[in-house]
Structure 1
Amino acid sequence: MSKIYLAGHGQTQSNCTIDFPRPDRLVTGNPKRQTYSLYEHPNMDCGIWHCEVGTWNIVFADNKQEFFNVIEGLVRLHDKNSDTIIEVGAGEAGIIPPSFEGIFEVVEAVKKYYVIVEA
């Protein structure tokens, strides 16, 4: 697994949590998602996320946004309100803004760093 270091504390540690997309949001597959939340602070959570190939609908709240950097794999984000599709692969980063609605598609099994901010 990749590592995240916290200034003044050293390497962060976490247990893995496993989940699957809600059945009412599934589009294709039923991908297993593994989350390693490595740092939590009021209004922010960051860590490493792994996911198998699959597709599901996402809806971000008005106060929630995510920055992510793909380490391995490939994802696509399809905007519900336009024909815009972004593709983010290894070594690239993306942002899911507040109020985003669309489809999250894992094209190739993905591993990414994530930072979620809720304010």
Structure 2
Amino acid sequence: MFDDSGKADMSALIHLPHRTVTGDLEAAGRRAGADSGDPRLKTLAADSGTDAQVGVWECEPGGWPVVDRPDTETCYIVSGRAKITDDQTGRVVEVGAGDFVVLPPGWTGRWDVVETLRKVYTIF
């Protein structure tokens, strides 16, 4: 991902094979700000060569608020289920395997993981 001078190679391809996306992830502790359940995290970060965060994230059941999100997150749900509540509209969406979610900057709401959830994400 880096050339001989230590600079990021912006043409490098990021490839996470299916076995990596669905395999074991690294334990990352309890979800910060959780106010229900005991949502333990597991992650696998991939170096994007940019400021964007890219990887695989898993969380056990539990919930937490998100207030005035500072960035954009896109994610594809690989497995599990969660309810996402949008504070602005009051809308509650249940997401599961195969769903794609975009949370824009300034978004305020809530995640409630119902069944251990795994997603592939980008945050920028």
For the residue of structure 2 that corresponds to 1:40, the secondary structure is coil
Structure with bigger strand share is: 1
Task: Say which one has the larger Rg.
Answer: 2
The 1:92–1:80 alpha-carbon spacing in structure 2 relative to 1, beyond 3 Å, is same
- Structure 1 residues 33-58: Cα deviation after superposition (integer angstroms, max 9, x where no partner): 11111123332011101110110111
1:10: Cα distance to partner? 5.7
Q: 1:58 to 1:41 in 2, by over 3 A?
A: farther
User: Letter of the aligned partner of 2:26 in structure 1?
Assistant: C
Percent of aligned pairs sharing the same letter: 25
Aligned to 1:98: 105
d(CA) in 2 for partners of 1:19, 1:57: 18
In structure 2, runs of 5+ residues without a counterpart are 1-11
Poorly superposed stretches of 4+, deviation over 2 Å: 9-13, 39-43
Number of aligned residue pairs: 106
Tell me the equivalent position of 1:3: none
Q: Does 1:21 pair with 2:31?
A: yes
The TM-score normalised by the length of structure 1 is: 0.77
List aligned pairs for 1:41-56, cutoff 5 A. Answer: 41-56=49-64
Contact 1:47–1:113 (8 Å) recurs in 2: yes
> Per-residue CA shift, 1:74-119, capped at 9, x if unaligned?
12211122211122110111111111111111111011101111xx
Structure 1 unmatched ranges of 5 or more:
1-5
Q: Pairwise CA RMSD of aligned residues?
A: 2.2
